[in-house]
C-alpha cells in the first residue's frame, strides 16, 4: 500500500549551458552537487530518524561523457560511486554482483552512495533508490527513471531533481539521443509536475 501514495517531489534544476556537447564541464559539476545534496538527506526521515530503505541515490544522464564527468566529481567528494553505461552484458552483471551484491536489485547495496547511469537502467532494473537526479529526457524516459525511486515505499518521499536548461529549449538543442522537440515537450510536462 505504501508504494502508491508516497510522494516523489519534482524539482527543476536550471543549469546554464545545459545541454552540453562532448565537454560536460560546469553542467557535470552542478549535477554532482545536486546528487550530493540528495545523498546527504537520503538516509533520514522527515523527523530526522534513520530510514528503512537503502541510501543509494541514482543519477541518470543522457551521454557517457556526462556520466564519467559526474562520477569523477562525486568521487572527489568521497562518495562511493558505481557507473553503469552502455549495454550491460552478462559479464558486467557478474562483476557487479561480485563487487556489490544486490546493487542492481530491489535490495540494493548500502555501501554504494551513488549509482550513475545512462539509459542502461531505465527499463528492466528493479531498483529502490533513495532519490534521483536526471537530465531532461523524453517523458517516457523520465517516468521510467522516476519509477526507480522509493519503489518499495519505505521512505516518506523520494526526491526527483530534473536538470533543465536555463532558458527555452531550441530546435537545435540535443541531449544524447533526444531531439530539441522531444526535450521541449518533456520540459512543458515536468514544469507542470514541479508546480504540483
pLDDT tens across the length of the chain (196 residues):
777 888 899 999 999 989 876 678 899 999 999 999 999 886 444 444 445 556 899 999 999 999 999 999 999 999 999 999 877 777 877 888 899 998 988 889 989 999 999 998 887 788 999 999 999 999 999 999 999 999 888 888 899 999 999 998 998 999 999 999 999 999 999 998 888 7
Q: Is the pTM of this model over 0.85?
A: yes
Contact 9, 191 (CB under 8 A): no
How far apart CA 84 and CA 91 sit, in angstroms, is 13
Report how far residue 130's alpha carbon sits from residue 111's, in angstroms, rounded to the nearest whole number.
13
Beta strand 178-179 with 174-175 is antiparallel
Amino acid at each position: 500500500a505504501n508504494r502508491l501514495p508516497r510522494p516523489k517531489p519534482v524539482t527543476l534544476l536550471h543549469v546554464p549551458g545545459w545541454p552540453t556537447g562532448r565537454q560536460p564541464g560546469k553542467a557535470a559539476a552542478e549535477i554532482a552537487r545536486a546528487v550530493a545534496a540528495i545523498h546527504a538527506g537520503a538516509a533520514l526521515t522527515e523527523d530526522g530518524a534513520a530510514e528503512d530503505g537503502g541510501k543509494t541515490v541514482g543519477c541518470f544522464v543522457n551521454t557517457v561523457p556526462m556520466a564519467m564527468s559526474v562520477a569523477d566529481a562525486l568521487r572527489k567528494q568521497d562518495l562511493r560511486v558505481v557507473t553503469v553505461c552502455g549495454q550491460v552484458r552478462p559479464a558486467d552483471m557478474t562483476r557487479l554482483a561480485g563487487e556489490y551484491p544486490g546493487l542492481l536489485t530491489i535490495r540494493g547495496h548500502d555501501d554504494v552512495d551513488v549509482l550513475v547511469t545512462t539509459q542502461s537502467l531505465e527499463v528492466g532494473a528493479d531498483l529502490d533508490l533513495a532519490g534521483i537526479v536526471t537530465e531532461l529526457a523524453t517523458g517516457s524516459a523520465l517516468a521510467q527513471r522516476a519509477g526507480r525511486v522509493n519503489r518499495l515505499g519505505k521512505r516518506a518521499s523520494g526526491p526527483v531533481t530534473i536538470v533543465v536548461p536555463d532558458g527555452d529549449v531550441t530546435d537545435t538543442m540535443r541531449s544524447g539521443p533526444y531531439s530539441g522537440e522531444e526535450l521541449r515537450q518533456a520540459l512543458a510536462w515536468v514544469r507542470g509536475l514541479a508546480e504540483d
